[in-house]
Structures are given as C-alpha cells and as structure tokens.
Amino acid sequence: MLIVENLSKRFGDTEALKRVSFTITEGQVYSLLGPNGAGKTTTLRIVAGLMMPDTGRVLWNGYPNIHHPEVKRQIGYLTADMGLYPRLTPWEYLNSFGRFYGLRGKTLAQKVQEVVNRFEIEEFAHRRCESLSTGMKQRVLLARTLLHDPVLLILDEPTAGLDAITALGFISYIREEKKKGKSILFSTHQLWEAEIISDALGILHCGDLVASGTPSALLSHYGVASLLDLFVKIVEHPDAH
Amino acid sequence: MHTDRILPLFVKEILEAIRDLRTLFGMIVLPLILFPFLLVGLTAWGLRATPQERGIYRIGIVGESSYLQEALQRNSRFQPQFFRFPIPERQIQRYISLGQLDLVIQIEENFDKHLKENQQASIRLYYDTTSEASYQAFDSFRNWMVDWKTEIVKERIQSFGIEEEVIQPLKMEGVNLATPRKLGGFTLAQFLPFLLIIMALQAAFYPSIDLVVGEKERRTLESLLTTPLTPVEILTGKFLAVSLISLVAVVLNLTGTVLAFQILTRSTPGTPIEFTLSPVTFLWMVIFVLPICMLFSAVFMSLSTLSRSVREAHTYLTPVFVFTVLLAGIGIAPGAHFSRAYVFLPIGSLVLLLKDLLLQQANFIPLIIVLFLHLLLAFLFLRFAAGLLQSEEVLFSPVGFNLQALRKSKPPTALPTLWEVTALFFFLLPLIIWVGSFWAPRSIALALIFTQVGVIFAIPILFLKLLRYNIKETLALHYPGILNLLAGFLVGISGYLLNIFLVFALKGIVPYPQDFEEVMKELLKNLTRGQGLSLLALLPAVCEETLFRGVILSGVRRRFSFLTSVLFIGILFGLFHLPNPLRMITASLLGVLFTGVTLKTGSLFPAIAAHFTVNAISVMATWIEPKWETTIPSAIAFPALLAGVLFFSIAWLLTRSLTTARKTQENGENIATL
C-alpha cells in the first residue's frame, strides 16, 4: 500500500505542493488530473524518490525510505518524455536495465524475452534506438518499466504524444498490470483515459489536491454528469470546493 | 556502493561510447594514427627539406681567388657561383630576395697576392638578416672562415719554422656519452609527456559531456536514477568508463608515437638515435598517466553535471581545457626541471616527472606524492559531482545549478562537511606556498602577513560566508572562562617543553631546520619586540587556529571520534609545516595538543592562547640565546619532557567542557519553560 502524507514542496517563491495526501491500495489505479503546472509531475517525482518533499512523507508498505535500493527495485517509473539511448538497441537497453535491477543469467534472459514478446519488440529489437518511431520507443520504455516486475507503477502522462490507437493499446497494457494486483499512480491530461482506467482519482490545482475519491463518488458529490464537467467545475472555481 | 551494480553500468557506458564516432576519433584515430604520423611526417619533411634547411647554401663569388676556390671545393656545404664582373648592391639584394643566392662574397682585387705575401687579405660579405637562409649562410660562412683562417695561420707559422703548439697551447676534444637510446629518450622527453596529457584531456572531453549532461538532455538520466543504482554508483560507473577511454587514448598514443619514430629511424639508416621504450618504462608511464586521466574525467564530469545542456557544458569545459594545456606547457618549458616548488602544481608537475622518467632520472618519492595529490584531487571532484547529482536544482530546475543552491537551507547549527574542509585544506596548501615564495624574496614580514591574513585567515572565513555557515558555531567562538584560558596557556608551555625533548630526541635522525631558523633570526633583528611577538606569535596563533582548530576541525569532529579527530588535525598541521621533517613532527605534536584542548573545552580561544604561548616562548628564546635549540643537553631535555607532561596534565584537569555546560543550561531552561 502506498500512503502519501501531507507532501509540501516549494521552488523558490512558488508553492508547488500544499499538503497533498492520498492512498493507493493493491490493484488500484489512482489518477492524478490537473492543468499544466498543477504539481502532478512533482508529486510523482517525490513518490518515485527523485525529489525530496519539504514536509510530509511517502510510505511504501509502511517503509518510509523511498530512496532505498530495495524499495526502488519494487517501483517502475515512466514519463512521456523519457529518452532511450540512441546508440543502444532495445535488446541491449533492456538487458542493461535488467542488470541494474539485479536480474542475472537465465532469469534476465527470460524476463527480457517476455517483455519483448509481450510488447511486440522482436522485429526491431536489434535496431539502434535512434532509428525507432515514437510508438516503438514508447513500447520499449514500457517494456523497461515492467521488466523487473515492479509492484508499484508510477506513470507520468505515458500516452502523451501517441496517436489514439497506440494510446488505447498502452492503456490496455496498464489494465493488465492492474489485474495482476499492482498499485498504479497515473497522471494524465486525457480525461477519457482516467475515466476508463481509474479506481480513484485526485484533481490537483496550483499544488492543492482539491478533490480526491472514486469517480462515481466525486461525480455525485459535485452533481455533474461527466469527468470533464467535474474537471472544469473544480479548475474554474477551486475556492468553492 | 555495490560493484555488481556499477559493472553493468560501466559496460553499458563503454558500449555506448565506442559506438560514437566522436569518441572513437578522440580515443583511437587521433592518438594512434593522426598525431604520431603527423609528428613523424613533419620530422621527415624537415629531413628532406630545402638545401638551406639541410645546411647547404648558394653563394655568389665576385672577383677572383684561386685560394678561396680551392678551399671552398673542400667544403660541400657551399655551392659557389662565380661572377667575373662586379655586381651592384641593388642586384645582390635582388638575388637574395628572390632566393637565387643566400650570400654574396666580394673579393678584393689582390686577395691571392696578399695571402701569398703573408699580408692581410680582405673580403666583403653581403647578406640580409631579414632572410633566415641568408643569415644562416652568413653565420655558417663566418664559422668556416674561422677554420680556414686557423689553417692559413698554421701554414704561415710552419713556414717560419715555429711549431703549432706554440700558438695552440690547449687542445680540446669532446666525447658525447649519450647513447642512441638515451638520445631517443631525450628527444621523446621534449614533447611526449605534453602530448600524452593532451591526448588524455581530449579523449575525456567528449564522453564526459555525452555521458552526463548528454543523458540529462536526452532525458535518460531520470530513468537511471529510478533504478536501484545510487547517484554515487551512477557517477562511479560513468567515471570509470571516461577514465578508461582517456587511458586507452594515452596507451595508443604512446604506442603510436614510439612506433612511428622507430619506422622513421629505420627508413633513414645511419641516424644516431634510437626510439625504444622498455616495457617497464612503458608500464610506469601508463601508471603515472592514469591519475591524470582520472583527474580530467572527474573535473569534466563535475562541470558536465553542473551544466544544463551539452552546449553549456562546452562553454564550461573549453576554458578548463585551455588552462590545462597551459599547465602542461609549464612542464615542457625550456629549462624546466622538477623541484619541490612544482609538487603542488597540478598537471605541470606530472609532465616534469614523466620527462624525468624518459630521461631515466625519475625520483620515485616525489612521483608518489604527486600521484597521490592528483588522485586526491580527482576524488574530491568526484565527490563534488556526486553531491551535484543528488541536487534537485541540478537535475530538474530549468535554471540549473547556482551557488544559491549550495548556500540555502542551512540550519544555524550546520557545520561544513569533511569533504568541504579537506578540499579547502588542499586548495590552501599550494596557495600558501606560492604566495609565500612570491613575497619572501621581497620581504619575509610581508610574506608572513600575506600568507597568514590573506590566505590562512581570509579564505576560510570567505568560504564560511559564501556557503552561509554560521561563523560563530563553526569556529566555536565561545567565551571559554578564565580556567579554560589558563589551561590554554599551560598547554602552550607544555607544547614548548615537549618540543624541546623532541628536538633533542631526533637530533641526528632528522635534519635541524637551519635555514628556517636563520630567516627567523634575521627577521627578528629588524623588528621591535612588540612587532616580533605580534608577527610571529599573535598572527599565526589567530590565523592558523581559525583554519585548523576552527574550520577544519568543524568538518572533522562531526565524522570522527575524539582520538581520530586529534590525530587527523595533528597530521594536517604537520603537513602544513613541510618540507622540513623536524618542523613537521613538532608541529604535528602541537596540532594534537591544540586540537585536544579545543575539543575538550568546546572553544577556540584556549587553542589560540596555547599557540600564542608556544610561539611567544620561541621568539623570546631567540632573543636570549639564538642557537640554544641546536645544542640541547640531556640534562635539559628529560626534565623538559617531565615538566611538559606535568603542565599538560594540570591543564587537562583545569579544562571543563563548554558544550556540556551549555547543554545543562539549555536543559535547565527547558525544564523551567515546562
């Protein structure tokens, strides 16, 4: 279980996060929505151990040190603008990252083969990453994220820049992971994605988590029919809530 | 740090680097092929250059002389061209300007007659100093004329029946002991160390940018940081890869250059020079260049980590590249030889030592010291880079790194880190030597003031101010109370007495610092007693204690136990008094005593009092009997030892910890508030 408690973060004079708290249980997808600059990426970076909060803490299964290598071994982190090593092939890239996560020998070979088959990477597995299309690159990145079988997935706008069909395929992969009982923290600008995948969602506005709960509970609480109406209502009148 | 995690990263970095054409060019093509063959090509071109450059000159001879003609025929360096009629000066100028002639000789009308009749014959030489070939021809002809003149004199005195020895009483013969191999080593020593440094530098340049800020720019660093690899492990893997690339460039350059010169000498038989490096010399050279490769990698990677983009990294790295070339250039300056003054000169010191190694004159002790200092510097840069890699400002801020990031959010009780104070010490050490040696020939008093106030005191204070450390807390500027101050003075007396015993015990084992004593005596002669005490006792007590028991101890005491801190600071204080070993040993003992009293009392003032006391007694002793320390009898040494121990024990019993007292007071206040 992931518990995020009272996270606050300042960048100079800007308050990027104001006491943000939420919880994600096993097999649950929690989506963070919000306009640009709302604090989604900062929240995800803190949870992934890339940043330290000024106050508050992140507990993963009760363990507070998210930076510990053993905790990092259980996390898979992916952002839309993450790059690949242009001079390595997907095969070499996956093998390298597998080793960073402590996989060796037959286990490594088996895991790499598994993700290569699952994300249909085989045909371009030995081509240099610099020659791959955006969709291919995103499949390789997702393969790398899931290679070590993490139990917590942190996905920061993973479908940004993908066409609708590829994005839908991507979402179906995430649903498969959810079925396996993985906890998923997901941020997106695409409300339809959040609608079809989320068990719970939070709306961030100027560093404030102004709404958090299951989609149905939020819709009925705010008296709106769709997630889009909810988003517009909250973002346009944040103080009213 | 886990090597099983670093190794896969190292392999990945190497794989990525060797697939990059720019790295391959810097690592293989440039050092192995381009540079050696360019060098050899230039040398070969020099060998088959124009006749003038080979020392063959075209000379025009105006007038007639069978003597001169005959003499010139015996010398192949001059290609004479005879003119029957006089040539005007303008025409001569034209011949030389066009390069048709290098020199024109105007022979007087009765040249042969004068020679024959044992009279003076004269010639006039026309040359142009603005033409290199013409001037060389003139110089060469003038030298030849000296030999010819000697020959004529010899013939004339023989005709008078006088023996040659009468006018040539001395005979000289030079025997060159340099073997062809040694000559080869000498030739290589003139440029190879410099070339190797440049190769190491250029090979580390591109990969250190690509593997650090390149990753930041391509957004791959973020994915690495979310793996179980720690920032230190990431940096170590990359550092090892860049260092290896740099080292490979050096090995290939060394091999390429030696091979290319061997090919050249084989293709020109009869050359009295042999370019051979024994495997042992080769291995030593590689070992000695390794710290340089590591240093370049660490420096470049630190700057690369600081940068926001590849372009910005180029902006930072290029001046460092140029500065390093200048430092290396000092090592190949004509007449430069390794001496103690060069020990703290980064890069330049190693170039000089590599030169010595090629000349088979290497002294291994300075080599080890210089290597250690380079490795230490590399380690400090690496630590700095690892710190940066953990900084959010460096990784995610669009503004990137700035000094504010280091300065901000320090609690009032924060103290400098061990790495910061160690780096400060090794930054100050060469600075003290340089500032001191610059001012000492002008004025010893000024040298003392500049090093003490300008370097030892001002820079550490500036360091604390810049990084926003609390000066009062860092320097432990707490009022110590009368008893602690008294204890400080007693520690000073004890230190002086114990040093008397040390000087006695080490007599004959380590040399007495005679030169230092002479300088101090000379200085004291020109000062009043008040000035002497201020300059030699008060000033070092305040300045050196601020640095050693203030700033450096603040970084050491938070990491080490009491005993380790005391020994560590003692050694640093001893190093500070290099190069005389006796001063180093006595200063180490004093360093231990002063650190002990600072840690025990929790205040810097007792250490200042102790330091002042030791120096003041030394100054006063010089006034009374300048040479007494050199002739200490055992009747004084052993009682001094006992008295020293006694004084220190009394001082120790008198001291009370201010830290404990403050804590007790704070607890009392807390209880009162509750």
Select the residue of B20, B225, B228 nearest A102 (Cβ to Cβ).
B228
φ and ψ of B344, to 5 deg: -95, 10
Which residues, given as ranges, of chain B have pLDDT below 70? 46-54, 269-271, 341, 397-413, 579, 625-631, 657-674
A85 → chain B, closest CA residue: B220
Burial of A2 (0-12, 13-18, 19+ CB in 10 A): buried
Cβ-based burial of B465 (10 A; exposed 0-12, middle 13-18, buried ≥19): exposed
Which residues lie below 8 Å from residue B656, measured CB to CB, with a gap of 6+?
Answer: B481, B483, B484, B601
- Which candidate, A31, A15, A27, A85, places its Cα nearest to that of A200? A31
User: What separation in angstroms does the CA of B327 have from each of A25, B321, B323, B425, B527?
Assistant: 61, 10, 6, 21, 39
CA gap B351, B373 in Å, rounded:
14
State the pLDDT at residue A169.
84
Query: Chain B contact for A105, CB < 8 A?
Result: no
| CA B95/CA B277 separation, integer angstroms | 48
- In whole angstroms, give the CA distance from residue B405 to residue B169: 80
User: Do residues B297 and B239 make contact, with C-beta atoms less than 8 angstroms apart?
Assistant: yes
Q: Which of B18, B22, B212, B222 would you mutate first to test chain A, the one with the most A CBs within 10 A? A: B222
pLDDT value at position B670?
44
pLDDT of residue B673: 38
Task: Give ipTM to 2 decimals.
Answer: 0.90
B108 touching A, CB under 8 A?
Answer: no
> A192: which residues sit within 8 A by CB, 6+ positions away?
none
Following CA atoms B368, B374, B380, B385 in sequence, which dihedral angle do they give, to the nearest 10 degrees?
Answer: -140
CB contact under 8 A, B12 and A85: yes
Is there a contact between A100 and B397 if contact means CB atoms under 8 Å apart? Answer: no
Prediction pTM value: 0.70
- In this predicted model, what pLDDT tens digit does every residue of A172-218 receive, in sequence order? 888 898 999 999 999 988 888 888 889 999 999 888 998 889 988 98
pLDDT for B53 equals 56
Peptide bond into B579 cis (omega under 30): yes
pLDDT at B411: 59
- Beta-strand pair A200-205/A183-187: unpaired
Q: Quick one: angle between helices B279-306 and B364-389, nearest 10? A: 30
The pLDDT value recorded for residue B292 is 92
* Contact (CB, 8 A) for B303 and B316: yes
Which helix (H) or strand (E) segment holds residue B646: the answer is helix B634-654
A13 touches chain B (CB under 8 A): no
* Chain A residues near residue B228 by CB distance under 8 angstroms: 69-70, 72-73, 100-102
List C-alpha distances in Å: B280 to B285, B358, B461.
9, 11, 48
pLDDT-derived band at A146 (thresholds 50, 70, 90) equals very high
Smallest Cβ–Cβ distance between B8 and the set A11, A72, A100 belongs to: A100
Q: What is the pLDDT of residues A81-92, one digit of tens each?
A: 888 999 999 999
Scanning every residue of chain B, which has its alpha carbon at the shortest distance from the alpha carbon of A80?
B219
- Rounded Cα gap, residues B329 and B317, in angstroms: 18
pLDDT of residue B665: 53
Question: Do B5 and A51 lie within an 8 Å CB cutoff?
Answer: no
Residue B397: predicted pLDDT: 62
DSSP string, B586-636: HHHHHHHHHHHHHHHHT-SHHHHHHHHHHHHHHHHHHHH-TTGGGG--HHH
pLDDT at B50: 54
Residue A188 corresponds to which amino acid? T
**Half-sphere exposure in the Cβ direction for A48 (13 Å, CA):** 26
The pLDDT, as a whole number, for residue A3 is: 93
Question: Which amino acid would we find at residue B228?
Answer: P
Facing residue for B228 by CB, picked from A45, A51, A100: A100
Separation of alpha carbons B213 and B395, rounded Å: 10
How many CB atoms within 10 Å of residue A31?
25
Residue A2 near residue A21, CB atoms below 8 Å? no
Q: In the A/B pair of chains, how many CB contacts fall below 8 A?
A: 77
For A20, A42, B392, the CA distances from A12, given in Å and listed in that order, are 19, 14, 12
Return the ∠ at Cα B242 (arms to B241 and B246), rounded to 5°.
120
pLDDT at B538: 92
Q: Which residues of A touch B4 (CB under 8 A)?
A: 102
**Which residue from A52, A84, A100 is facing B220, i.e. has the nearest CB?**
A84
Using an 8 Å CB-CB cutoff, list chain B residues near A153.
Answer: none
Q: Which of residues 110-169 of A touch B (CB under 8 A)?
A: 141, 144
Helix count and strand count (H, E) for chain A? 9, 9
Interface test with A, best of B4, B12, B22 (most A CBs within 10 A): B12
Q: What is the pLDDT of residue B126?
A: 93
Checking if the pLDDT of A36 tops 80, the result is yes
CB atoms A101 and B228 under 8 Å: yes
Say if the Cβ atoms of A85 and B16 lie within 8 Å: yes
